[in-house]
Structure 1
Amino acid sequence: MESFYLEYKNELVGTVLCLLTLMILKYFGAKTIRKVGKLSDINEVRTRLIVKYSTIGLTGFGILALILIWGVDFKEIGLVFSSVFAVIGVALFAQWSILSNITAGIILFFSFPFKIGDRIKIMDKEIELPNEIYIIEDIRAFHIHLRRKNGELFTYPNNLMLQKAIGLAATYEQSMDNSSDL
């Protein structure tokens, strides 16, 4: 056992430093995300979701760092990763819109152009949407819950919130009032 410690002393020290760094980054990252969420008055569920995403990302970087620290031969691990990524790539290609919705959800969290309770107008000519104002009830990882004036609830994908023109209702109503004066 002592010979193991002596033989892999540098790798063990590197592993301990890597794990400590990851724990510190996770703690301060989660604390920062929660602070941004609180200052921006963002729903706690959304904040926890982004903390979970950052933890998964840090774990991936940690695994990569540990592979580098322990000097795993990339030719051997390359074959395993290429096989796994080929299978995952085919599966994810079929689910590309889900990934784009998750990414859009993260972007919406940090740029926070919309909040729960905001009244918005969706200006999308491709989809048959009534020309009305919607209230944002909830912002999830994949979609946003919108409520119409008549009480009907429906979902709208996060990626469309970034791709299509969305106006805040107060701003839209003011611009319509000003344009009628012209």
Structure 2
Amino acid sequence: MDTLFFEYKNELLGTAICLLVLLILKYLGTKAIKKVGKISDINEVRTRLIIKYSTVGLTTLGIVALILIWGVEMKDIGLVFSSVFAVIGVALFAQWSILSNVTAGVILFFSFPFKIGDKIKIMDKEIELPNEVYLIEDIRAFHIHLRRNNGELFTYPNNMMLQKAIALAQTYEDSLERSEVL
């Protein structure tokens, strides 16, 4: 056991440091994302989703770091990664729409000017009634739930929210103020 420790002490120390750094980064990242979510008054479910995405990214980064620490040969890594990325590339090419919606969901989390409860107009010629006002009921990873004036539920992809012009018709706070006046 002692010989094993002394033989791999640099790798074991590097692994411990790597795991400690990853845990600290996860803690600080989670705290920062929660703070952004709270300041921006973003739904808790969306905040947890972005935390999950960042955790997956950090885990991937950690695996790459551990591979480098333990000195796996680059040609072996290249073979494995090229095989994995070929399979993933084919799968993602078939699912590009889902990937773009998830990416748009992350972008919307940090820069979306609208919140749940706001009323918006989507300036899109392809929609049946392009100037209709929609109530934002929920913002999910792939799409946004919008409620039409007639009560009909309408889902709109996240990537289209970034591509189309959106006008704010009424904020949730404004609608609360109007209801208090009445």
State the TM-score, normalized to the length of structure 1. Answer: 0.90
Instruction: State how many pairs are aligned.
Output: 171
Aligned to 2:79: 79
RMSD across aligned positions (CA)? 1.2
CA contact (8 A) 2:123 2:166 kept: yes
CA distance in 1, matches of 2:51, 2:165: 28
The answer to whether the aligner puts 1:121 opposite 2:128 as a matched pair is no
What amino acid sits opposite 1:158 in the alignment?
A: N
Map 1:126-137 to 2 at 5 A: 126-137=126-137
Structure 1, unpaired ranges of 5+:
172-182
CA distance in 2, matches of 1:129, 1:3: 74
Render the CA deviation track for 1:138-178: whole Å, top value 9, x for unaligned.
0000000000111111100000000011110149xxxxxxx
What amino acid sits opposite 1:32 in the alignment?
A: A
Aligned to 2:26: 26
CA distance in 1, matches of 2:46, 2:162: 17
SS in 2 for 1:135: strand
The answer to whether the aligner puts 1:8 opposite 2:31 as a matched pair is no
SS in 2 for 1:167: strand
Aligned to 2:37: 37
CA contact (8 A) 1:138 1:145 kept: yes
CA contact (8 A) 1:108 1:114 kept: no
The answer to whether the aligner puts 1:94 opposite 2:66 as a matched pair is no
- CA offset at residue 130 of structure 1? 4.3
State the TM-score, normalized to the length of structure 2. Answer: 0.90
CA distance in 1, matches of 2:86, 2:170: 48
Structure 2, unpaired ranges of 5+:
172-182
Aligned residues with identical type, % of pairs: 81
